[in-house]
DNA sequence: GCAGTTTGTGGATAGATGTGGATAAAAGTG
DNA sequence: CACTTTTATCCACATCTATCCACAAACTGC
C-alpha cells in the first residue's frame, strides 16, 4: 500500500500536493482526520469505511476507547483531489497539526500521514532515542 | 540468497547499479529502507512483505510500537529497477547513509546492504579490531 | 583466441510531476 | 442588491523522471 517519505509545501492558496504514487490509490477523493502525535491521517474511502466500522464497535463504556474513537471520527472530513492531485486542509486540522509551510507526507501501510516538518523532526528524534537499538527490536521480530 | 561485495558509483542522474546476480532475485521492484550503522537495506518484495506484516501487527494504540513501525515504514521506499538494473535512491535516504559517489553493494543473507565507501571502510576497520572479542563471544556461545 | 553475450555506464527524449497563477463560480457582507 | 472575499476549476510551464537507446569493457563458452 502506501510507502515512503515525501516533502512538499503548502502554497499561497493553501493547497498541499499528494505524491503521484499515492494519487493512483486515492482517486478523486479521500478522508482526512486527526491522527496521533499531532499529525493528520489521510485514508482512502474504502479504508476509512473499514476503520470507522471498527471504531464504532469500541465499547462505549470505556472512556479511553471512546475518546480515541471521538478524536478520529469527529475530526474527519472528506477532501477532493484537484487535477494536480492537491488537497485543501481544513483550518481546524491545520491548527491541530501545526502545519506551517514545509510538510512531510508519508505512507504507513493503509494510511498517509501528514506532518509539519518541524514536528516530524521532533518526533523522529524523540522516538529514535527512546526506541534504543533498532537492531534489538528487529531481532525480537525475528528479522 | 544474496552473497558478495561489489563497488559501483552513482552517476550524474543519481542512478545506482545493482549487481546482475541480485537483479535476477529482485525482478523489477524492490524496497529500500534505513539500515543499521548508516547503511541502507534493500529487500525483495517478498522479504519486505514478511517484515511489514510483522510490523503491521504491532498495536496502533501503543506509542512505542507505533513509533517503531513509523520509523521503519516511513523510512522505506519502493524502488523500480530500470532495464540496466539501476535504482534511484530518495534524497532523505541518501542523506541518512552519507552516500557520495563510490558505493559498496553487499549481499547479506536475505537482504542487500548499500554503503558509502568511506563509511564501509570505517565500519570494517572498527569491526576488524573488535573481531578478537567477537570471536571469544562466539566461543562462549559454542560456535 | 575469438565471436557472441552480458554488464556497467552514459545520454536523448517524451511524458509525468510539482508549482504557480488566471478565471469563473460561490459564498459571505454591509 | 451590489460588492468583496473566498473557493473551485482550468491552464501554463519549468523541472524532474521513466524509458529507450548506444557503446565500450568484461566475460562466456567453444
Instruction: Kindly report, residue by residue over B33-65, the tens digit of the pLDDT.
Output: 988 888 999 999 999 999 888 877 766 566 676
Contact B103, B8 (CB under 8 A): yes
Alpha carbon distance B80, B58 (integer Å)? 28
Q: All 3 cell numbers of residue A74?
A: 469527529
Interface contact A131, partner B, CB < 8 A: yes
CA A6 to chain centre: 13
Q: Distance (Å) from CA B93 to C1' D23?
A: 32
Q: Is B1 on the interface with A (CB under 8 A)?
A: no
Strand C positions within 7 A of protein Cβ atoms: 6-12, 16-22
CB-CB contact of A73 with A54 (8 Å): no
Q: How far apart are CA A136 and CA A134, in angstroms?
A: 5
Inform me whether the C-beta atom of residue B75 falls under 8 Å from chain A C-beta atoms: yes
The per-residue pLDDT for A36 is: 85
**Straight-line distance from CA B1 to C1' C12, in Å?**
37
User: What mean pLDDT do residues A42-55 have?
Assistant: 92
Least confident of A33-47, B45-59, B85-99: B45-59
Q: Is B75 in Cβ contact with A107 (below 8 Å)?
A: no
Total residue count of chain A as it appears in this document: 143
Flag whether pLDDT at A129 surpasses 80.
no
Single out the residue of A111, A124, A97 nearest to residue A10, CA to CA: A97
- Which pairs from A112-116 meet CB under 8 Å and 24+ separation? A112/A2, A112/A18, A112/A22, A112/A41, A112/A42, A112/A43, A113/A35, A113/A39, A113/A40, A113/A41, A113/A42, A113/B70, A113/B74, A114/A16, A114/A32, A114/A35, A114/A39, A114/A40, A114/A41, A114/A42, A114/A89, A115/A39, A115/A40
CB distance A4–B74 less than 8 Å? yes
Distance CA B128, CA B30 (A): 31
Give me the long-range contacts of A113-117 (CB less than 8 A, separation at least 24): A113/A35, A113/A39, A113/A40, A113/A41, A113/A42, A113/B70, A113/B74, A114/A16, A114/A32, A114/A35, A114/A39, A114/A40, A114/A41, A114/A42, A114/A89, A115/A39, A115/A40, A117/A7
Q: Looking at CA atoms only, how far is residue B133 from chain A in angstroms?
A: 20
- Helix axis angle for B45-56 and B63-74, nearest 10°, is 160
Q: Are the beta carbons of A131 and B55 separated by less than 8 Å?
A: no
Q: What is the pLDDT of residue A43?
A: 96
A55-61: average pLDDT: 76
CB of A52 within 8 Å of a chain B CB? The answer is no
Cβ of B74 within 8 Å of Cβ of A107? The answer is yes
Residues B102 and B8: their CA atoms lie apart, in Å, by: 6
pLDDT, mean over chain A: 87
More confident residue, B30 or A71: B30
What is the structure's pLDDT at B15? 95
Say yes or no to pLDDT of A44 above 90.
yes
Amino acid at each position: 500500500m502506501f510507502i515512503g517519505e515525501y516533502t512538499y509545501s503548502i502554497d499561497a492558496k493553501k493547497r498541499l500536493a499528494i505524491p503521484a504514487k499515492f494519487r493512483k490509490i486515492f482517486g478523486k477523493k479521500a478522508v482526512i482526520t486527526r491522527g496521533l502525535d499531532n499529525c493528520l491521517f489521510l485514508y482512502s474511502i474504502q479504508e476509512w469505511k473499514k476503520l470507522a466500522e471498527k471504531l464504532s464497535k469500541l465499547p462505549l463504556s470505556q472512556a479511553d476507547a471512546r475518546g480515541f474513537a471521538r478524536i478520529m471520527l469527529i475530526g474527519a472530513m472528506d477532501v477532493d483531489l484537484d487535477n494536480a492531485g492537491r488537497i485543501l486542509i481544513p483550518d481546524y486540522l491545520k491548527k491541530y497539526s501545526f502545519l506551517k509551510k514545509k510538510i512531510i507526507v508519508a505512507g504507513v501501510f493503509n494510511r498517509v500521514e501528514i506532518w509539519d516538518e518541524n514536528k516530524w523532526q521532533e518526533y523522529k528524534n524523540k522516538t529514535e532515542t527512546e526506541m534504543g537499538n533498532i537492531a534489538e527490536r528487529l531481532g525480537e521480530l525475528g528479522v
